[in-house]
Amino acid sequence: MLRKFLKLITIYLAIVLVTILANFTLFAETYPTKVYKWQKIGEFNTRLTDTSNYVYSKIQKSSNNFFVMGGRSYGPSYNRSILLTKDFGKTWENIFRKGSSNTDCIIDSKDRLLIVGNGKDSANFIYIRDLNSDITNTITIITKDKNYAFTRIWELDSNNYLIKANDGIIDHVFKFNMLDSGLTQLIPRKNSIDSLDIAIDKDLRILVNISFGVVQNRIIISSFYGNLYYSDDYFKTINFGFSEPTTFNYLDNIQISNGQFLFTVSSVEDTVAKSPILLTLTKFNENLLDKKKVLVNYLNAKNSMDPISMMACSNDKYVVCRMGVSMLNYGYGDTLNVDSLMVSDDYGESFQYVPFPTIDSNYNYFAYASPSITKAGEILLVVPLRTSKGQPSPTLSEVYYGKLDDVGVPENNSKYPIIYPNPTSDKLTISKIPEGVVSYEIFDIFGNRVLSTPSSLRDATPQEGNWEIDVSKLSPGIYFIKIGTQPPLKFVKI
């Protein structure tokens, strides 16, 4: 009797937990699917090209359909390449290979490619190439009082840019004018007297990210200490926006048009390793602060850069997020490092799931996948490939161009694997298994793998196209099954 009572209590608690967590599920069955047609437009041996593969390569597209890949190589490695294709990946040209570190690049509104970085001689450079005329210019900047390292660049307007730099101790922000090559320091401010201004200046010694809103000429800036500020006069006056108890992700602050800005912040503190976390997308505009639970992942250990680790926008209605475990090197070690994409076509109000392009099954970890999106909703994706074995040593990167299908409507999720019955007490059936998929892994809610292929628990003769797995030996609770490279699916063992 006692044993039966305990079993009923266990079942009840499992159902309650499912109900509580139902609103916090990230995976594909929670969101409608957006159909994209993927075209691979590049494949690079990164040991040969030495392009910026080591941390989040970026890919950008000009209005005349040129693609530029590279940038954001924050490590001490030199000779990073910037690659250009004018024919949708049939040929790639190595257009920039200057001995430099801290490289970043953008394509501005006039289709000019700007590359900033710091050379081996400690001199900073700004490389400018008009992608229409191919006219190039390189500006070398040697600062007299301090040795700055240029690290990031943003466009302000047609001829002005923000440049982030670091002197080895604190961060600086400069405004660069292309017409006269002038460089003006904006942060740190030089004449702060008010105690509040002095406190703000101190907080901004370590910056996280900068976003610029062309509608209002507003600059949004966030600090390492979790505070957000905004300015409408190039930092002569800096206004406090709001404070977030956890660190802002320094890749995720973007403008989504109409003067609104989108951020990802963690709203649940993680007090126990690998405990559930909740990340929200936050819109900020003037005094408007709107936090919504839009995209959520509760399987991964707390990290200031998890799990919405890449986000980009078209400065119009489209937003794309790369969902995964981590953008940094240690991300490979998590057996649940499953990348997926989420796209919004309504300024971040709602999102749809976009399956990753089909990639060689030997590569099932894409820890640094970096997306961008155009005003037409096209997704550009750089995927440095990873295997699940050993320390990752990337040698291959692939570049994908994704375009909405002919009608661009959400696809029925039944195309993807289906599991039933759910909950289950003994057998779990999987149908609609993608062609070529021969493996599965089952994880508990703490990310521990409890079953995998090959397994004696798998039926030796499953129905064609279906798998039947004996899960009767599992303890009652919530589990996730990862089928090949598909997003994990949740089921309950009772």
Output the domain CATH number for residue 96.
2.130.10.10
The model's pLDDT over 215-264, given as tens digits with 9 standing for 90+, comes to 567 888 888 887 888 888 999 999 888 776 655 554 456 766 666 677 76
Residues 180 and 60 in one domain: yes
Residues 321 and 466 in one domain: no
Q: Are 471 and 451 in contact (CB under 8 A)?
A: yes
Q: CA 311, CA 329: separation in Å to the nearest integer?
A: 18
Residues 428 and 353 in one domain: no
Residue 411 domain flag: no
Q: Is the pLDDT of residue 271 over 70?
A: no
Residues 178 and 240 in one domain: yes
Return mean pLDDT, the chain.
Answer: 70
CATH of residue 455: 2.60.40
| Structural domain that includes position 152 | 36-404
Residue 355 domain flag: yes
Domain boundary among 369, 404, 439: 404
Residues 303 and 375 in one domain: yes
Question: What does the pLDDT read at residue 178?
Answer: 92
Residues 146 and 214 in one domain: yes
Q: Are 89 and 121 in contact (CB under 8 A)?
A: no
Of 449, 435, 431, whose CA–CA distance to 388 is shortest?
Answer: 449
Strands 93-96 and 288-292: unpaired
Residues 238 and 195 in one domain: yes
Assign residue 438 a region (left: φ > 0; alpha: ψ between -120 and 50; beta: otherwise): alpha
Q: Is the pLDDT of residue 87 over 90?
A: yes
Neighbours of 453 (CB within 10 A): 16
Residues 199 and 332 in one domain: yes
More confident residue, 364 or 81: 81
Residue 479 domain flag: yes
Q: CA 356, CA 485: separation in Å to the nearest integer?
A: 9
How does residue 80 score in pLDDT terms, banded at 50, 70 and 90?
A: low
C-alpha separations of 487 from 25, 128, 311, 326, 440 in Å: 12, 41, 19, 16, 11
pTM exceeds cut of 0.75: no
Copy the structure tokens of residue 459: 């039926």
Domain boundary among 356, 380, 404: 404
Copy the structure tokens of residue 437: 């998929």
> DSSP strand E in 286-336: where?
288-292, 308-313, 319-323
Domain count along the chain: 2
Residues 234 and 310 in one domain: yes
Neighbours of 109 (CB within 10 A): 12
How does residue 404 score in pLDDT terms, banded at 50, 70 and 90?
A: confident
C-alpha triplet 149, 153, 156: angle, nearest 5°: 140
φ, ψ of residue 470 in degrees (nearest 5)? -85, 110
Residues 435 and 392 in one domain: no
Domain boundary among 370, 404, 438: 404
Residues 26 and 162 in one domain: no
